[in-house]
Amino acid sequence: MEWRERLWMTLRRLFYRWLRLTSRIIATVFFGFRTEGRHNLDFEGGAMLLATHQSVMDPVLVGLIANRRLNYLARKTLFKNAAFAFLIRLLDAIEIDRDRGGLSGLKEMLKRLKRDEAVLMFPEGTRTVDGQVHELKPGFIPIARRSEVPLVPIAIVGAYDCLPRGSRLPTCKPISVVVGEPLKKETYAAMSDTQLLAAMQEKLVALHARGVELLKGKNA
């Protein structure tokens, strides 16, 4: 590896850490950010993080609670602006072309999972229209079965109220993120696709309810 490449990788790591720290401070000061279950992300190896989708803030919100670097799935339209495309590629975004089935993006995702990296997905497929957890799409299941990585359920609560679809600027309202226990391959390997989808739906709904309690100031 040439010194230029090593320098570039070092700068990328430093930028990511700086951005995560800055985001944590902003989230705490302006959004009364609360989180629970961060220890469920403290393991090595590949992982699929399956989060509810409330707003465009979600990738940042999940990224700031993880002590490890994350990869993100991003729709192709987000890469139209050259400057923004450079930024999200710097942050390890994986381009997904939904119009063409997203096959190349899914292959890249599988490659990174097999390199023991963590990838964030939003299995609802699109942002919520009412702040609630909606029906999950099964697209994550084939990747999970091929990669055999743990599946980590994550619920985001409050981001919809801060920045719902159609809004340009966020309002300062409280946000919580709750991380559930990973579903290991030994467990979901014994499930049918229908059972796995239902189990993940149930977990995300329960974590969402816990996130609502956190915002109300209730302890476990």
Write the pLDDT tens digit of every residue in 52-104.
Answer: 999 989 999 999 999 889 998 888 888 888 888 888 888 888 888 766 666 78
Give pLDDT < 70 ranges for the chain. Answer: 1, 98-102, 218-220
Predicted TM-score (pTM) of this structure: 0.90
Q: 95-99: long-range contacts (C-beta < 8 A, 24 or more apart)?
A: none
Encoded amino acid at 43, one letter: F
| pLDDT score recorded for residue 96 | 83
| pLDDT score recorded for residue 1 | 60
Encoded amino acid at 107, one letter: K
3-state SS assignment for residue 140:
helix
* Domain spans, the chain: 3-72+117-215
C-beta neighbour count of 127 within 10 angstroms: 18
| pLDDT score recorded for residue 100 | 67
3-72+117-215: CATH, from 3.30.365.10, 3.40.50.11740, 3.90.330.10, 3.40.1130.10: 3.40.1130.10
| pLDDT score recorded for residue 128 | 94
Distance of CA 166 to the CA centre of its chain: 21
Encoded amino acid at 202, one letter: E
Task: Please state the φ and ψ torsions of residue 34, each to the nearest 5 degrees.
Answer: -130, 145
How many CA atoms does the CB half-sphere of 117 hold within 13 Å? 16
